[in-house]
Chain A
Amino acid sequence: EDQVTQSPEALRLQEGESSSLNCSYTVSGLRGLFWYRQDPGKGPEFLFTLYSAGEEKEKERLKATLTKKESFLHITAPKPEDSATYLCAVQAASSNTGKLIFGQGTTLQVKP
């Protein structure tokens, strides 16, 4: 069964304290792994897509990496505005409809 597990469930950091969020997945062939950011009361906002092991993508203080079993979202020197829930999702290679399987998310709080 295709599955996505994110850890930790919640993470509290001080401003400037770098850390990583983990997304472990099992899927019958990976077409793509997606990271989203979700602010309270809003819809998920697309951040990155990763397609193959070894791939990395960066955006401001965020860097996403991918291996054959997991993805990491590294947050360098975070600021309070980085506080949000970060969602990971995978799309199986067998899917021709764009169906995504989501993890439960990691809620990040960055304190000034």
Chain B
Amino acid sequence: DAGITQSPRHKVTETGTPVTLRCHQTENHRYMYWYRQDPGHGLRLIHYSYGVKDTDKGEVSDGYSVSRSKTEDFLLTLESATSSQTSVYFCAISEPRGGQETQYFGPGTRLLVL
């Protein structure tokens, strides 16, 4: 258990509304990641953070923004949700293990955009 929580766990929203998902970790990990998981696409990286206020884009970042003002929290914002953003969103942290950084995942947030 890497001490990762995600909130909310489930959300239904309407097209055009802003949505913020929260990832919280309790063990002071430097690296945090946001992925989305869709049938036929597997897990794809949206954004990641390598420290407070240090973030960068992943492979599917369009329509998403992130913020990390504290080590323990990494927020993912959909500025104006679209139906194509209906997905399951996973947060991950990276922890050193055997000389390698291993990613551990949170429980996920199911988002439905109507």
Q: Which of B83-114 contact A (CB under 8 A)?
A: 90, 94, 97-98, 100-108
* Contact of A102 with B44 in the complex, beta carbons under 8 Å: yes
Of all chain A residues, which has the CB nearest B110?
A: A41
Interface stretch of the complex, out of B13-21, B35-43, B61-69, B72-80: B35-43
Question: Contacts of A12 on B, CB cut-off 8 Å?
Answer: none
Q: How far is the CB of B104 from chain A (nearest CB, A)?
A: 6
Q: How large is the interface on B (under 10, 10 to 19, 20 to 34, 35 or more residues)?
A: 20 to 34
- Chain A interface mostly helix, strand, loop or mixed? loop
Q: How far is the CB of A51 from chain B (nearest CB, A)?
A: 7
Question: Contacts of A44 on B, CB cut-off 8 Å?
Answer: 43, 90, 105
Q: Pick from B40, B90, B97: contact of A43, CB below 8 A.
A: B90
A79 at the interface (CB under 8 A from B): no
Q: How far is the CB of A77 from chain B (nearest CB, A)?
A: 27
Q: Pick from B33, B43, B105, B106: contact of A98, CB below 8 A.
A: B33
Chain A CB count within 10 A is highest, among B31, B42, B107, for B42
B52 at the interface (CB under 8 A from A): no
* Contact of A43 with B56 in the complex, beta carbons under 8 Å: no
A53 at the interface (CB under 8 A from B): no
Given A44-B90, A49-B98, A51-B100, decide whether A99 and B45 contact each other with a Cβ distance below 8 A: yes
* Contact of A31 with B100 in the complex, beta carbons under 8 Å: yes
* Contact of A46 with B43 in the complex, beta carbons under 8 Å: no
Chain A positions within 8 Å of B, measured between CB atoms, are 31-32, 34, 36, 41-46, 49, 51, 87, 89, 97-100, 102-105
Chain B positions within 8 Å of A, measured between CB atoms, are 31, 33, 40-45, 48, 50, 56, 58, 90, 94, 97-98, 100-108
